[in-house]
Chain A
């Protein structure tokens, strides 16, 4: 019995096609990522799986239960952390946690081993109202509340959005440890660099899944050589590379530009010879390169 099975799910809101023909499965003990920007359909998919929204077409099951027929079973078995902070702001850390435990007919003590490590980090502030916590602490409390009933599947909708790189890194370290405890996790993120921390990912854009694979395979599939370029004046370098007729794509990637070409790189170097401090070297594709290439293909297909 697979933790999550999604088959041909469609959902529209008026004219907006929020989800189109979405199918994927999450395996036992897997950390599966939905990677995509705002408007990709990630939250809609979570709401369907959490039985809060009905799909127009298609079927889905969570831990063997159908999201329509067996919604009650699913609700008691999943932990769901929505994108928007949705704990009680005027209850304290302790009160929120007890509240969620009670709702699920359990106690904090019963499953304490599961949340211990995360809870200990916020325990010194347990008398503080949730509304007065920092972003990182809110996120930890929300995760504790989603785990307090020992769920069989964990849904995390953009847990790291708007969170600084340090807290993001800590959060993913927590997820790795939860995964080791055998809980299958479906997590969404707009940060492409977080894809490599998942076992498998679905790259989503405008309601469609563009690709599903392991992060390593997605990068290996990129298939075109990428050149990293830099020069003293990066703005003029971007303009000049884009103006070169042999350029397929040119995007900023940190301190370098990533360039793909359909003409020899020597011709590009010649075209740019007026630039001071010019460096052009081969580079490795990342998830973000792959995502942008797929986006372009999707746009061209329209």
Chain B
């Protein structure tokens, strides 16, 4: 039985021994490249690789070459624990990028905390993660919701209906919608939370028709979002009840959707590939050179790209790869990066980033037209709750109470 262990360990050792002998600086990346979450994972993994190659092509960091070690967690949670520890114990990376679902982030966060390695998370999430080692370059829920609610109430009227997935991302986001609805004199006239496995949205669609809202907030994730919008459109409702969303386009939903259903959907997000600025153009060109033309870039590819560069900037400022100095640099309030989505800057206390939020409307050609830009939106909830400079020992996951 167990003598298989020995043999296999030698095999493993041989496979991995090779990669760990480099003298370069190791960088870890842990993403779901295969399995059911690959729809989110591949983009981020590719973006990190592109960014590291970009830095290496420009001569590396502090004169050192970065050696990227990627792990495919296969959409399986135990793999996160395995690979996170593997990279900590064997590769001794200077930084790790990765994590997808909330549970995967929560699974690996403590590992990097214990190992004292900076960890960057770049997936859109419910917000509130707070500890010394964790840095979030994706928007937290409230960051996008506030501008969206303000905009939508002004444009469509006060009554909103919320449909959200029934797990933390959805329920916490819904709380923010309630909060900002109050703030901007709106009213939530109905809400419906959907189970993960649901593909049938007619019950929700009927509840919406019954509640007669001025607009619908729809934040299911990925293909579920597409299914809902498709069915909502087919029921002939989209023209009378507009749909807004604070996560639509995260997994390139607009591409999966039939053009007719995609037209007119409003999304608030930190990046759209139609953004007109030189950094975005350069970024898209680089992407096409490496991964081929015709790909639609998701916002999370950009937040992952930004994550690598924000880290690189902090290393340069610190003048060393040592974690302690890198934290000091990241918390200096002077770490900025001009990303494809505009200026991003690391907030010193909360370890989240201040970045632009765009309100955009879907067209009938799988793309978006940007309607309004909210410049440098701060992660206000995190800034308010989480001050790691005043309280560096803080380890918490803040959730707003209803």
Chains A and B are bound partners: no
Chain B contacts to A: CB under 8 angstroms: none
